[in-house]
Amino acid sequence: MAKEAQDLDEVFAAMANEHRRAVVLALALRPHSISELADRRGLSLPAIHKHVRVLEDAGMVLRRKSGRTNWLALRRVPLRELQEWTEQFNPGWGTDEETLENFAEHLDTHPTEEGPS
């Protein structure tokens, strides 16, 4: 698997959890300490550390220690890469009604053996 695809897989996996999405949203506004994030989410320190590790492994957060406090900041590059990947579908996206019309037109012009003719 190419490195870029593996990186994107890690970002998708990281964003697949509501706590991690909330952490990303909080960090998009400003850096937070790990204990602040745990308090915001109502999580124990071991639980928030688990989520932070996943975000770090995906390259989405940077950690800096100041005294005894670990501060996290959002690293936006992986989110931009995710956005670029999803934008490839944008030209084909329309309203749900347009999508259904396009699908119906396709089925009318390309009947299958399994479907009605």
Tens digit of each residue's pLDDT (9 = 90 or more) over 72-116: 999 999 999 999 998 887 665 566 677 677 777 778 887 775 655
Residue 117 has pLDDT above 90, yes or no: no
Domain assignment of residue 114, yes or no? no
Domain assignment of residue 35, yes or no? yes
Domain assignment of residue 40, yes or no? yes
pLDDT-based confidence at residue 1 (cuts at 50, 70, 90) = low
Q: Find the length of the chain.
A: 117
Beta carbons within 8 Å of 21's beta carbon, 6+ residues apart: 15
What is the arrangement of strands in the sheet containing 32-33, beginning at the earlier edge strand? 32-33, 69-74, 61-66
Distance CA 109, CA 85 (A): 30
Domain assignment of residue 116, yes or no? no
- Domain span including residue 32: 3-109
Domain assignment of residue 105, yes or no? yes
* CATH code of the domain containing 30: 1.10.10.10
- Structurally, the chain folds into a number of domains equal to 1
Distance CA 85, CA 56 (A): 20
